[in-house]
Structure 1
């Protein structure tokens, strides 16, 4: 096993200005990834995070959506991963499903206070409203005002995923830009998918991997995502993705997160590795 863990971490691609691209998957505990599919044969389960974080540059934690984790658990995850690797984390369902979002301040503080134990491994927090959840703009603004800008002495970044078409409007974009909250691009045929940039980082969740493809996506699709990720990182705004408003290209580098989520989940690690390999090759 030593050779498996002595591999250098999969370094993020960077443009000339040094902006970084983070590529990963949702979670790391999934039985179909074992036995040589992603995890090597006979790799013990307690070392799966250690292995995955050496092959990828980010992981989105989904378990935080379903249950509370102890700060000590976050510290253990932090210590199992190499320098430069980051987590994103999905905010708890109990917060997102609240009928009075403006009253969730204490719950938000508890969640952020615990996950701050990830330290420099915490890349972004994902706040997801599921289909059928359509808070008014005023209510949404009051909720976003509760999200702290710092935790544990470090700046926090927040990304918002919306799954109700009624919420998407120019007014939504203005609200998110005022608060520097990223609108998640949901690469999905099921959910609304808009790539408007609303923060100093970009966040995409790609959900259409196919079981019949070894790398989950056609090579041309992965090539296109490598171009888009580089574009985001360089300050651009890919105009081949759907937008509510006109694309707003710029020159200021930003960090970009690209996660392969859902779809044919067994293929997502291979898709992430294939994209990382493309990003290592100079454009």
Structure 2
């Protein structure tokens, strides 16, 4: 089970929980077991940058990495083979620190089964690790879409807030696709990216994750970073999970 944040900034309020020395990444990696790299969505990083990040973390630490928007938002999953090759060659320098790849889709991207299946098959031919997808169009929350993802061993992200109205699709905020992995992205609710999660919500999440982790790996990323709640929420959830938080 791994709990972390999107990025590795450490606000002053949480600083006492972290070692005083080292870079933000080094300090984060001594307290939390993972982080999610979102900067790769916006721009490429040099291979030596990825290698330096890997060398800055202990053996059990993992990076989840978001695919570039050039693939997901600009190419919209079509004809992305060369871009995938470049990205995987760069991020691959993380070595055994590389965790799941995150494919976040634009809200306007409707499921085209032929395009999506070709993309994920191509990704799977290139990458044998875990892959998760965060779609945000209602067409991805159907039995057909779930089967397509499962066939390509891709877990659908469980997101909060739900990416489409829950009243229209009650599974929109729940895990889907491949059942061998759970990946939660908690963006803050009710105000996305800003709201903190209260004790009752964290208690419920901890109970659910402990139950789910019996059968599969569970990852949880706090992305409510705008008002600096992500680190505090990740630490609070980790404390609730106890020793289980240190297990893969």
Match of 2:188 in 1: 208
Q: Which moved more, 1:115-124 or 1:95-104?
A: 95-104
Matching residue within 165, 175, 179 for 2:148? 175
Residue of structure 1 in register with 2:138 after alignment: 165
2:47 is equivalent to residue 85 of structure 1? no
Match of 1:25 in 2: 5
SS in 2 for 1:182: strand
1:228 aligns with 2:208: yes
Judge conservation of contact 2:148–2:177 (CA < 8 Å) in 1: no
Distance 1:75 1:173 in 2: 35
Superposition deviation, residue 218 in structure 1: 1.6
In structure 2, the residue matched to 1:18 is none
Q: Aligned partners of 1:150 and 1:138: how far apart in 2?
A: 19
Describe the SS at the equivalent of 2:196.
coil
Shift of 1:177: 1.1
1:62 lines up with 2:38 in the alignment:
yes
Q: Which residue of 2 aligns with 1:257?
A: 219
* Distance in 2 (alpha carbons) for counterparts of 1:83 and 1:216: 30
Structure 1 residue 216 displacement after superposition: 2.6
Would the aligned equivalents of 1:95 and 1:107 in 2 still touch at CA under 8 Å? yes
Answer yes or no: is 1:38 the counterpart of 2:14: yes
1:210, distance to aligned residue in structure 2 (A): 7.5
Q: 2:161 aligns with which of 183, 188, 192?
A: 188
How far the C-alpha of 1:263 sits from its partner, in A, is 6.2
Conserved? CA contact 2:161–2:190, under 8 Å: no
Q: How does 1:97-176 map to 2 (within 5 A)?
A: 97-99=73-75, 101-148=77-124, 155-176=128-149
Aligned length: 233
Gaps of 5+ in 1: 1-20, 236-253
- Do the aligned residues in 2 keep the contact of 1:209 with 1:264 (CA within 8 Å)? no
Q: CA deviation at 1:39?
A: 3.1
Q: Is the 8 A contact 2:158 2:173 kept in 1?
A: yes
Separation in structure 1 between the aligned mates of residue 162 and residue 76 of structure 2, nearest angstrom: 30
- The 1:72–1:170 alpha-carbon spacing in structure 2 relative to 1, beyond 3 Å, is same
Task: Structure 2: state its 5+ residue gaps.
Answer: 165-171
Pairwise CA distance, 1:112: 0.9
- Compute the TM-score of the two structures, normalised by the length of structure 2: 0.85
The corresponding residue for 1:3 is: none
The runs of 4+ residues in structure 1 deviating greater than 6 Å are: none
